[in-house]
Structure 1
Amino acid sequence: MTVLEQLNKEKIMAMIRGVHPDAADRTVEALAQGGIRFIEVTTNTEGVYALIERWRKTYDRDLIVGAGTVLDVEMAKQAIASGAQFMVSPNLDEEVIAYGAIHHIDVYPGVMTPTEIVRAIKFGAKAVKVFPTGSLGGASYLKEIRGPLNNIPMIASGSVGLNNIREILHAGAFAVGMGGSLVKRDWIESGNFSAIQRLAKELVHVVAEERATH
Protein backbone atom coordinates (compact mmCIF):
# COMPACT_ATOMS: atom_id res chain seq x y z
CA MET A 1 0.00 0.00 0.00
CA THR A 2 1.39 3.40 -0.96
CA VAL A 3 1.65 6.30 1.49
CA LEU A 4 -1.22 8.02 -0.33
CA GLU A 5 -3.41 4.92 -0.10
CA GLN A 6 -2.67 4.62 3.61
CA LEU A 7 -3.54 8.27 4.14
CA ASN A 8 -6.86 7.73 2.39
CA LYS A 9 -7.54 4.84 4.75
CA GLU A 10 -6.47 6.59 7.96
CA LYS A 11 -7.91 10.03 6.97
CA ILE A 12 -6.21 11.99 9.79
CA MET A 13 -2.81 13.66 9.57
CA ALA A 14 -1.75 15.22 12.89
CA MET A 15 0.50 18.27 12.62
CA ILE A 16 3.06 19.21 15.27
CA ARG A 17 4.47 22.74 15.05
CA GLY A 18 6.78 24.68 17.34
CA VAL A 19 6.71 22.16 20.19
CA HIS A 20 9.86 21.60 22.28
CA PRO A 21 11.49 18.26 21.35
CA ASP A 22 10.78 16.62 24.73
CA ALA A 23 7.13 17.64 24.61
CA ALA A 24 6.98 16.64 20.94
CA ASP A 25 8.09 13.12 21.85
CA ARG A 26 5.34 12.85 24.46
CA THR A 27 2.80 14.32 22.04
CA VAL A 28 3.62 11.75 19.38
CA GLU A 29 3.40 8.98 21.95
CA ALA A 30 -0.08 10.17 22.96
CA LEU A 31 -1.20 10.44 19.33
CA ALA A 32 0.10 6.96 18.53
CA GLN A 33 -1.64 5.49 21.59
CA GLY A 34 -4.81 7.24 20.45
CA GLY A 35 -4.64 5.51 17.09
CA ILE A 36 -3.25 8.28 14.88
CA ARG A 37 -0.92 6.89 12.23
CA PHE A 38 0.14 9.98 10.20
CA ILE A 39 2.39 12.58 11.83
CA GLU A 40 3.54 15.79 10.16
CA VAL A 41 6.19 17.79 12.02
CA THR A 42 6.95 21.21 10.58
CA THR A 43 10.38 22.53 9.67
CA ASN A 44 9.96 25.49 12.05
CA THR A 45 9.95 23.07 14.99
CA GLU A 46 13.14 22.84 17.05
CA GLY A 47 15.18 19.77 16.11
CA VAL A 48 12.72 18.78 13.40
CA TYR A 49 15.04 16.53 11.43
CA ALA A 50 16.28 14.72 14.53
CA LEU A 51 12.64 14.22 15.57
CA ILE A 52 11.77 12.66 12.20
CA GLU A 53 14.76 10.35 12.38
CA ARG A 54 14.00 9.33 15.97
CA TRP A 55 10.30 8.69 15.38
CA ARG A 56 11.02 6.62 12.29
CA LYS A 57 13.21 4.35 14.44
CA THR A 58 11.02 4.36 17.55
CA TYR A 59 7.70 3.70 15.83
CA ASP A 60 8.98 1.80 12.80
CA ARG A 61 5.84 0.61 11.01
CA ASP A 62 3.36 1.99 13.55
CA LEU A 63 3.59 5.57 12.27
CA ILE A 64 4.12 7.31 8.95
CA VAL A 65 6.18 10.41 9.60
CA GLY A 66 6.52 13.39 7.29
CA ALA A 67 7.90 16.91 7.21
CA GLY A 68 5.63 19.95 7.03
CA THR A 69 6.24 23.56 5.98
CA VAL A 70 8.77 22.40 3.39
CA LEU A 71 9.34 25.68 1.55
CA ASP A 72 12.29 24.93 -0.72
CA VAL A 73 14.51 22.19 -2.11
CA GLU A 74 17.10 22.56 0.67
CA MET A 75 14.43 21.78 3.26
CA ALA A 76 13.24 18.90 1.11
CA LYS A 77 16.78 17.49 0.98
CA GLN A 78 17.12 17.60 4.76
CA ALA A 79 13.65 16.13 5.29
CA ILE A 80 14.28 13.18 3.00
CA ALA A 81 17.75 12.62 4.45
CA SER A 82 16.20 12.38 7.92
CA GLY A 83 13.72 9.75 6.74
CA ALA A 84 10.57 11.74 5.98
CA GLN A 85 8.01 9.53 4.23
CA PHE A 86 6.06 12.47 2.79
CA MET A 87 6.31 16.25 2.66
CA VAL A 88 3.69 18.97 3.07
CA SER A 89 3.96 22.68 2.25
CA PRO A 90 1.67 25.69 2.70
CA ASN A 91 2.46 26.80 -0.85
CA LEU A 92 2.86 25.46 -4.37
CA ASP A 93 6.54 25.02 -5.35
CA GLU A 94 7.29 23.12 -8.54
CA GLU A 95 10.90 22.41 -7.55
CA VAL A 96 9.94 20.82 -4.24
CA ILE A 97 7.37 18.59 -5.94
CA ALA A 98 9.93 17.57 -8.57
CA TYR A 99 12.59 16.84 -5.95
CA GLY A 100 10.16 14.67 -4.03
CA ALA A 101 9.22 12.80 -7.19
CA ILE A 102 12.86 12.03 -7.98
CA HIS A 103 13.20 10.45 -4.54
CA HIS A 104 9.78 8.75 -4.68
CA ILE A 105 8.43 10.87 -1.82
CA ASP A 106 4.93 12.35 -2.05
CA VAL A 107 4.65 16.13 -1.74
CA TYR A 108 1.26 17.59 -0.79
CA PRO A 109 1.41 21.31 -1.64
CA GLY A 110 -0.85 23.94 -0.16
CA VAL A 111 -3.38 25.37 -2.65
CA MET A 112 -6.44 27.60 -2.57
CA THR A 113 -7.78 28.11 -6.08
CA PRO A 114 -8.83 25.78 -8.91
CA THR A 115 -5.88 27.07 -10.94
CA GLU A 116 -3.40 26.17 -8.19
CA ILE A 117 -4.99 22.76 -7.68
CA VAL A 118 -4.71 21.82 -11.35
CA ARG A 119 -1.17 23.23 -11.61
CA ALA A 120 -0.06 21.17 -8.62
CA ILE A 121 -1.27 17.96 -10.23
CA LYS A 122 0.40 18.91 -13.53
CA PHE A 123 3.66 19.44 -11.64
CA GLY A 124 3.38 15.89 -10.30
CA ALA A 125 1.65 16.18 -6.92
CA LYS A 126 -0.51 13.14 -6.14
CA ALA A 127 -2.72 15.09 -3.73
CA VAL A 128 -3.11 18.70 -2.66
CA LYS A 129 -3.64 20.40 0.69
CA VAL A 130 -6.58 22.80 0.46
CA PHE A 131 -5.44 25.44 2.92
CA PRO A 132 -6.73 27.23 4.90
CA THR A 133 -10.01 25.30 4.59
CA GLY A 134 -11.74 27.21 7.38
CA SER A 135 -11.03 30.63 5.93
CA LEU A 136 -12.06 29.47 2.45
CA GLY A 137 -15.52 28.44 3.62
CA GLY A 138 -15.01 24.99 5.08
CA ALA A 139 -17.06 22.09 3.80
CA SER A 140 -19.13 24.24 1.43
CA TYR A 141 -16.02 25.44 -0.44
CA LEU A 142 -14.58 21.93 -0.57
CA LYS A 143 -17.84 20.52 -1.92
CA GLU A 144 -18.14 23.21 -4.59
CA ILE A 145 -14.54 22.99 -5.78
CA ARG A 146 -14.74 19.21 -5.97
CA GLY A 147 -17.62 19.52 -8.40
CA PRO A 148 -15.37 20.02 -11.45
CA LEU A 149 -12.23 18.59 -9.81
CA ASN A 150 -13.51 15.48 -8.06
CA ASN A 151 -10.74 13.33 -9.52
CA ILE A 152 -8.07 15.18 -7.50
CA PRO A 153 -7.39 14.01 -3.91
CA MET A 154 -7.80 16.98 -1.57
CA ILE A 155 -6.53 17.12 2.00
CA ALA A 156 -8.54 19.65 3.99
CA SER A 157 -6.37 21.59 6.43
CA GLY A 158 -7.18 24.52 8.70
CA SER A 159 -10.00 24.72 11.27
CA VAL A 160 -10.82 21.01 11.05
CA GLY A 161 -11.79 19.51 14.40
CA LEU A 162 -14.05 17.03 16.13
CA ASN A 163 -16.99 19.39 15.63
CA ASN A 164 -16.82 19.34 11.82
CA ILE A 165 -14.69 16.41 10.66
CA ARG A 166 -17.76 14.44 9.54
CA GLU A 167 -19.00 17.38 7.48
CA ILE A 168 -15.57 17.85 5.89
CA LEU A 169 -15.31 14.15 5.01
CA HIS A 170 -18.86 14.18 3.61
CA ALA A 171 -17.85 17.12 1.40
CA GLY A 172 -15.30 14.85 -0.25
CA ALA A 173 -12.05 15.40 1.63
CA PHE A 174 -9.52 12.70 0.82
CA ALA A 175 -8.08 13.25 4.31
CA VAL A 176 -7.77 16.03 6.89
CA GLY A 177 -4.79 17.81 8.39
CA MET A 178 -5.22 18.70 12.06
CA GLY A 179 -2.91 20.97 14.02
CA GLY A 180 -4.09 23.03 16.99
CA SER A 181 -7.52 21.44 17.05
CA LEU A 182 -5.89 18.11 18.01
CA VAL A 183 -2.40 19.00 19.22
CA LYS A 184 -3.68 21.62 21.62
CA ARG A 185 -1.02 24.01 22.90
CA ASP A 186 -2.53 24.43 26.37
CA TRP A 187 -2.69 20.67 26.88
CA ILE A 188 0.96 20.32 25.92
CA GLU A 189 2.04 23.20 28.15
CA SER A 190 0.15 21.73 31.12
CA GLY A 191 1.47 18.21 30.42
CA ASN A 192 -2.04 16.89 29.75
CA PHE A 193 -1.01 14.40 27.10
CA SER A 194 -3.77 12.00 28.14
CA ALA A 195 -6.28 14.54 26.81
CA ILE A 196 -4.55 14.45 23.42
CA GLN A 197 -4.74 10.66 23.48
CA ARG A 198 -8.47 10.72 24.31
CA LEU A 199 -9.26 13.22 21.56
CA ALA A 200 -7.22 11.20 19.07
CA LYS A 201 -9.26 8.12 19.97
CA GLU A 202 -12.51 10.03 19.45
CA LEU A 203 -11.40 11.23 16.03
CA VAL A 204 -10.20 7.79 14.97
CA HIS A 205 -13.57 6.40 16.08
CA VAL A 206 -15.41 8.95 13.92
CA VAL A 207 -13.32 7.92 10.90
CA ALA A 208 -14.04 4.24 11.59
CA GLU A 209 -17.77 4.97 11.75
CA GLU A 210 -17.64 6.91 8.51
CA ARG A 211 -15.72 4.10 6.84
CA ALA A 212 -18.29 1.55 8.03
CA THR A 213 -21.25 3.52 6.63
CA HIS A 214 -19.79 4.33 3.22
Structure 2
Amino acid sequence: MHACPLVAILRGVRPDEIEAMADVIIAAGFTMIEVPLNSPEPLESIRRIAHRFGSDVLVGAGTVLTVEDVDAVAEAGGRLIVSPNVDPAVIAHTAARGLVSLPGYATPTEAFAALAAGAHGLKLFPAEAASPAVLKAHLAVIPRHIPILAVGGVTPENLGEWMAAGAAGGGLGSALYKAGRSVDEVAQAAKAFTAELRRLLG
Protein backbone atom coordinates (compact mmCIF):
# COMPACT_ATOMS: atom_id res chain seq x y z
CA MET A 1 0.00 0.00 0.00
CA HIS A 2 2.83 2.40 0.80
CA ALA A 3 4.69 1.55 -2.41
CA CYS A 4 1.62 2.05 -4.63
CA PRO A 5 -1.92 2.32 -3.21
CA LEU A 6 -3.55 1.03 -6.39
CA VAL A 7 -4.95 -2.48 -6.88
CA ALA A 8 -5.06 -3.81 -10.44
CA ILE A 9 -8.34 -5.73 -10.76
CA LEU A 10 -8.04 -8.17 -13.67
CA ARG A 11 -11.59 -9.43 -13.96
CA GLY A 12 -11.89 -11.87 -16.84
CA VAL A 13 -8.16 -12.41 -17.31
CA ARG A 14 -7.10 -15.83 -18.60
CA PRO A 15 -4.14 -17.88 -17.34
CA ASP A 16 -2.53 -17.80 -20.79
CA GLU A 17 -2.32 -13.99 -20.70
CA ILE A 18 -1.89 -13.28 -16.99
CA GLU A 19 1.91 -13.15 -16.96
CA ALA A 20 2.15 -10.70 -19.85
CA MET A 21 -0.53 -8.48 -18.29
CA ALA A 22 1.08 -8.64 -14.86
CA ASP A 23 4.51 -7.82 -16.31
CA VAL A 24 3.38 -4.50 -17.80
CA ILE A 25 1.28 -3.59 -14.77
CA ILE A 26 4.18 -4.22 -12.40
CA ALA A 27 6.57 -2.39 -14.73
CA ALA A 28 4.28 0.65 -14.48
CA GLY A 29 4.73 0.65 -10.71
CA PHE A 30 1.85 -1.42 -9.32
CA THR A 31 2.51 -3.78 -6.40
CA MET A 32 -0.99 -5.28 -5.88
CA ILE A 33 -2.93 -7.49 -8.29
CA GLU A 34 -6.39 -8.97 -7.78
CA VAL A 35 -7.84 -11.76 -9.92
CA PRO A 36 -11.59 -12.01 -9.23
CA LEU A 37 -12.78 -15.55 -8.69
CA ASN A 38 -15.39 -15.19 -11.45
CA SER A 39 -12.56 -15.03 -14.00
CA PRO A 40 -11.54 -18.07 -16.11
CA GLU A 41 -9.40 -20.44 -13.99
CA PRO A 42 -8.61 -17.70 -11.45
CA LEU A 43 -6.59 -19.89 -9.10
CA GLU A 44 -4.22 -20.84 -11.91
CA SER A 45 -3.71 -17.16 -12.74
CA ILE A 46 -3.02 -16.39 -9.09
CA ARG A 47 -0.61 -19.31 -8.89
CA ARG A 48 1.32 -18.06 -11.92
CA ILE A 49 1.65 -14.49 -10.62
CA ALA A 50 2.63 -15.65 -7.13
CA HIS A 51 5.32 -17.90 -8.61
CA ARG A 52 6.58 -15.20 -10.97
CA PHE A 53 6.84 -12.33 -8.50
CA GLY A 54 6.99 -13.94 -5.05
CA SER A 55 6.75 -11.56 -2.11
CA ASP A 56 7.52 -8.51 -4.30
CA VAL A 57 3.87 -8.32 -5.34
CA LEU A 58 0.75 -8.69 -3.18
CA VAL A 59 -1.42 -10.95 -5.29
CA GLY A 60 -4.75 -12.45 -4.46
CA ALA A 61 -8.38 -12.82 -5.36
CA GLY A 62 -11.47 -10.70 -5.58
CA THR A 63 -15.11 -11.75 -5.25
CA VAL A 64 -14.12 -14.00 -2.35
CA LEU A 65 -17.39 -15.08 -0.75
CA THR A 66 -16.66 -18.10 1.47
CA VAL A 67 -14.03 -19.40 3.88
CA GLU A 68 -13.43 -22.21 1.40
CA ASP A 69 -12.55 -19.61 -1.22
CA VAL A 70 -10.04 -18.08 1.22
CA ASP A 71 -8.34 -21.46 1.68
CA ALA A 72 -8.23 -22.11 -2.07
CA VAL A 73 -6.64 -18.72 -2.74
CA ALA A 74 -4.07 -19.27 0.01
CA GLU A 75 -3.17 -22.68 -1.40
CA ALA A 76 -2.61 -21.06 -4.81
CA GLY A 77 -0.14 -18.63 -3.24
CA GLY A 78 -2.46 -15.64 -2.93
CA ARG A 79 -2.10 -13.32 0.05
CA LEU A 80 -4.80 -10.71 -0.68
CA ILE A 81 -8.46 -11.47 -0.06
CA VAL A 82 -10.94 -8.97 -1.50
CA SER A 83 -14.69 -9.34 -1.09
CA PRO A 84 -17.59 -7.28 -2.41
CA ASN A 85 -19.32 -7.54 0.96
CA VAL A 86 -18.77 -7.67 4.71
CA ASP A 87 -18.87 -11.30 5.85
CA PRO A 88 -17.36 -11.52 9.35
CA ALA A 89 -16.60 -15.24 8.95
CA VAL A 90 -14.63 -14.66 5.73
CA ILE A 91 -12.78 -11.68 7.22
CA ALA A 92 -11.91 -13.47 10.46
CA HIS A 93 -10.73 -16.58 8.61
CA THR A 94 -8.58 -14.45 6.31
CA ALA A 95 -6.95 -12.72 9.28
CA ALA A 96 -6.45 -16.03 11.10
CA ARG A 97 -4.57 -17.39 8.08
CA GLY A 98 -2.27 -14.37 8.04
CA LEU A 99 -3.66 -13.01 4.79
CA VAL A 100 -4.66 -9.44 3.97
CA SER A 101 -8.40 -8.77 4.23
CA LEU A 102 -9.92 -5.97 2.13
CA PRO A 103 -13.73 -6.27 2.16
CA GLY A 104 -16.17 -4.01 0.38
CA TYR A 105 -18.40 -1.73 2.43
CA ALA A 106 -21.03 0.93 1.69
CA THR A 107 -21.99 2.30 5.11
CA PRO A 108 -20.20 3.13 8.38
CA THR A 109 -22.11 0.26 10.03
CA GLU A 110 -20.58 -2.18 7.55
CA ALA A 111 -17.16 -0.56 7.92
CA PHE A 112 -17.09 -1.03 11.68
CA ALA A 113 -18.40 -4.60 11.41
CA ALA A 114 -15.56 -5.39 8.99
CA LEU A 115 -12.93 -3.83 11.24
CA ALA A 116 -14.30 -5.70 14.28
CA ALA A 117 -13.91 -8.96 12.35
CA GLY A 118 -10.26 -8.20 11.57
CA ALA A 119 -10.19 -6.39 8.22
CA HIS A 120 -6.87 -4.72 7.43
CA GLY A 121 -8.42 -2.11 5.14
CA LEU A 122 -11.68 -1.34 3.38
CA LYS A 123 -12.91 -0.75 -0.13
CA LEU A 124 -15.77 1.66 -0.70
CA PHE A 125 -17.81 -0.35 -3.20
CA PRO A 126 -19.30 0.45 -5.57
CA ALA A 127 -17.66 3.85 -5.42
CA GLU A 128 -19.66 5.16 -8.39
CA ALA A 129 -22.81 4.70 -6.28
CA ALA A 130 -21.30 7.01 -3.66
CA SER A 131 -19.10 10.09 -4.13
CA PRO A 132 -15.94 11.64 -2.71
CA ALA A 133 -18.22 13.69 -0.45
CA VAL A 134 -19.73 10.48 0.97
CA LEU A 135 -16.26 9.08 1.65
CA LYS A 136 -15.24 12.30 3.38
CA ALA A 137 -18.30 12.01 5.61
CA HIS A 138 -17.46 8.39 6.44
CA LEU A 139 -13.96 9.44 7.47
CA ALA A 140 -15.40 11.70 10.12
CA VAL A 141 -15.97 8.50 12.11
CA ILE A 142 -13.81 5.76 10.53
CA PRO A 143 -10.29 5.89 12.03
CA ARG A 144 -7.91 7.68 9.66
CA HIS A 145 -5.22 5.01 9.94
CA ILE A 146 -7.51 2.51 8.18
CA PRO A 147 -6.72 2.54 4.45
CA ILE A 148 -9.82 2.89 2.29
CA LEU A 149 -9.71 2.29 -1.44
CA ALA A 150 -12.35 3.63 -3.81
CA VAL A 151 -13.41 0.78 -6.10
CA GLY A 152 -15.77 1.11 -9.04
CA GLY A 153 -15.60 3.83 -11.64
CA VAL A 154 -12.15 5.11 -10.67
CA THR A 155 -10.18 6.64 -13.55
CA PRO A 156 -6.97 8.67 -13.84
CA GLU A 157 -9.20 11.72 -14.24
CA ASN A 158 -11.09 11.30 -10.95
CA LEU A 159 -8.47 9.58 -8.80
CA GLY A 160 -7.42 12.95 -7.40
CA GLU A 161 -10.96 13.72 -6.21
CA TRP A 162 -11.11 10.46 -4.30
CA MET A 163 -7.70 10.91 -2.71
CA ALA A 164 -8.49 14.52 -1.77
CA ALA A 165 -11.54 13.17 0.05
CA GLY A 166 -9.36 10.77 2.04
CA ALA A 167 -9.06 7.61 -0.03
CA ALA A 168 -5.68 5.92 0.31
CA GLY A 169 -5.93 4.94 -3.35
CA GLY A 170 -8.16 2.90 -5.61
CA GLY A 171 -9.06 -0.46 -7.01
CA LEU A 172 -8.98 -0.25 -10.78
CA GLY A 173 -11.16 -2.42 -12.94
CA SER A 174 -12.33 -1.74 -16.49
CA ALA A 175 -10.42 1.55 -16.73
CA LEU A 176 -7.26 -0.57 -16.50
CA TYR A 177 -8.14 -4.03 -17.81
CA LYS A 178 -11.11 -5.72 -19.39
CA ALA A 179 -11.32 -8.95 -21.32
CA GLY A 180 -10.08 -8.54 -24.85
CA ARG A 181 -7.82 -5.58 -24.16
CA SER A 182 -4.29 -5.90 -25.56
CA VAL A 183 -1.13 -5.93 -23.48
CA ASP A 184 -0.13 -2.57 -24.99
CA GLU A 185 -3.48 -1.02 -24.07
CA VAL A 186 -3.18 -2.29 -20.50
CA ALA A 187 0.40 -1.00 -20.29
CA GLN A 188 -0.70 2.48 -21.36
CA ALA A 189 -3.61 2.51 -18.92
CA ALA A 190 -1.36 1.36 -16.07
CA LYS A 191 1.18 4.07 -16.85
CA ALA A 192 -1.58 6.70 -16.91
CA PHE A 193 -2.71 5.69 -13.43
CA THR A 194 0.76 5.65 -11.89
CA ALA A 195 1.69 8.93 -13.57
CA GLU A 196 -1.37 10.58 -12.06
CA LEU A 197 -0.58 9.03 -8.67
CA ARG A 198 2.94 10.42 -8.75
CA ARG A 199 1.56 13.84 -9.66
CA LEU A 200 -0.91 13.72 -6.77
CA LEU A 201 1.70 12.63 -4.24
CA GLY A 202 4.17 15.22 -5.45
* Deviation for aligned residue 1:179: 0.5
**Paired residue for 1:23?**
17
Letter of the structure 2 residue corresponding to residue 107 of structure 1: S
* Deviation for aligned residue 1:25: 3.0
**Paired residue for 1:175?**
169
1:207 pairs, out of 185, 191, 197, with: 197
**Paired residue for 2:79?**
85
Q: Structure 2 CA distance, aligned partners of 1:132 and 1:8?
A: 23
- SS of 1:182's partner is coil
CA offsets per residue over residues 20-79 of structure 1, 9 Å max, x none? Answer: 222333322221222222100011111211111111111234422111111000100100
1:109 pairs, out of 103, 108, 113, with: 103
- SS of 1:50's partner is helix
- Normalising by the residue count of structure 1, what TM-score does the alignment of the two structures yield? 0.88
Q: Structure 1 CA distance, aligned partners of 2:76 and 2:117?
A: 24
Q: Does the 8 Å contact 1:160/1:181 carry over to 2?
A: yes
**Paired residue for 1:33?**
27
Q: Structure 2 CA distance, aligned partners of 1:61 and 1:204?
A: 21
Q: Structure 2 CA distance, aligned partners of 1:40 and 1:162?
A: 19
Letter of the structure 1 residue corresponding to residue 54 of structure 2: D
The structure with more helix, counted as a fraction of residues = 1
Question: Does 59-68 or 158-167 show the bigger shift?
Answer: 59-68
* Deviation for aligned residue 1:81: 0.9
- List, as ranges, runs of 4+ consecutive aligned residues in structure 1 with deviation greater than 4 Å: none
- SS of 1:84's partner is coil
**Paired residue for 2:184?**
194
Q: Does the 8 Å contact 1:128/1:155 carry over to 2?
A: yes
- SS of 1:173's partner is coil
**Paired residue for 1:141?**
134
Q: How many residues align?
A: 201
Map 1:114-129 onto structure 2 (within 5 A).
114-129=108-123
Question: Does 35-44 or 57-66 show the bigger shift?
Answer: 57-66
Letter of the structure 1 residue corresponding to residue 194 of structure 2: V
1:49 pairs, out of 32, 43, 63, with: 43
Q: Does the 8 Å contact 2:70/2:94 carry over to 1?
A: yes
Q: Structure 2 CA distance, aligned partners of 1:57 and 1:149?
A: 36
Letter of the structure 1 residue corresponding to residue 59 of structure 2: V
**Cα-Cα RMSD:** 1.5
Q: Does the 8 Å contact 1:8/1:174 carry over to 2?
A: no
- SS of 2:39's partner is coil
Map 1:58-69 onto structure 2 (within 5 A).
58-69=52-63
